[in-house]
Amino acid sequence: MDTLSETQFDVGIAEAFDLCGFGIFEVLNVRSTIATTSCVHAEVVSKAIGIPSAASYVPGMMSTKGDEMGMFERLQNVVEITLGAKFFDTLFEMEIAAFRAKFGQSFKDYDEILAQVSYVFTNSNPYLDYPRPTIHKSIDVGGIAVSFDSNRNKLPKHLDEILNLRSTNVIISFGTVVKSRYMPDEYKKSLLKMFEVMPNTTFIWKYESDDYEMIGNLSNVYLNSWLPQNALLADSRITAFVTHGGLGSTTEIAYMGKPAVMVFGICSDLGYGMCSPLMEIPMDSQNYELYQNYIGGYKYRVFGAF
């Protein structure tokens, strides 16, 4: 902190999921601050800057319902928003207590610190998100990192060669947090069974270890510990995407116009992912034709409008 105090900062930018950054800005007397959220709209931040939650028609951050809600669904939405607010309230109060122990009991409350931010940059896109009340402080920047530039989206040679092997190519990735290598064995076997009954489809699987013994003699499966997801989705040879339904992936497939199967992994994905009826369908050979409709038949392709 002594080193930081020697510099006069014009603006401070921090992720609002954690209050520590804003506490440091307060200590350093940074006059202009910007809050960012990797999710769409965090209710605790929206409330602090004066945006109502509108729980009767706007799904909460961790909601399991869409925007068409009956009386019971609205009540459930209120409960989920309240519990989410309580979680962040408890977390932020603990962080404020740590700052007060170090810098004195007069240190501001978390809602006062958040209320004084100049702007809130959300990972939302108004064309994809639910309609909601807003104010000038809230700026939607969702999709700002999505690129259509062919130079930036140039694929590594090995991936380019893999995509040329078959006319149907599917990406499988469950994001950064949910790692495929830790997936229960029965889930892995279910996926492998699907790969086996679709030999004319290439599956590029983001898998965090080179466990090629697992895939056995399947010649249509390729494991990669990391994938250039934006570049792959921008490629016309990609047919579909099996994803955890996170906001980043959902935004990319909307921009690129790719069909996707959503397999939700964490609570926030329920609020922001686009639900797929395949969530409750076992991945086995009995459902081969159904998966063909999604993956091989282009029946559910969405055309991007950006």
Cβ–Cβ under 8 Å, residues 299 and 277: no
Average pLDDT, the chain: 83
Q: What is the pLDDT of residues 254-286, one digit of tens each?
A: 888 888 887 765 544 444 433 333 333 344 444
Residue 71 within a domain:
yes
Q: Which residues constitute the domain of residue 10? A: 2-140
183 and 130 in one domain?
no
- Beta bridge pairs of residue 260: 241
60 and 11 in one domain?
yes
Looking at residues 106-134, what average pLDDT do you find?
Answer: 92
Taking every pair of Cα atoms in the chain, the longest distance, rounded to a whole number of angstroms, is: 67
Q: How many domains does the chain have?
A: 2
Residue 103 within a domain:
yes
Q: What is the pLDDT of residues 204-252, one digit of tens each?
A: 999 988 777 888 889 999 999 999 999 999 999 999 998 888 888 888 9
40 and 14 in one domain?
yes
169 and 281 in one domain?
yes
18 and 105 in one domain?
yes
212 and 126 in one domain?
no
121 and 186 in one domain?
no
Residue 290 within a domain:
yes
The C-alpha atoms of residue 109 and residue 96 are separated, in whole angstroms, by 7
pTM: 0.77
Q: What is the pLDDT of residues 137-192, one digit of tens each?
A: 999 998 898 988 888 889 999 999 999 999 999 999 988 777 888 888 888 888 88
**How high is the pLDDT of residue 293?**
56
**How high is the pLDDT of residue 266?**
54
Q: What is the pLDDT of residues 14-55, one digit of tens each?
A: 999 889 999 999 999 999 999 999 888 888 899 999 998 888
What does the block give as tokens for 230?
Answer: 């934006």
Cβ–Cβ under 8 Å, residues 35 and 19: no
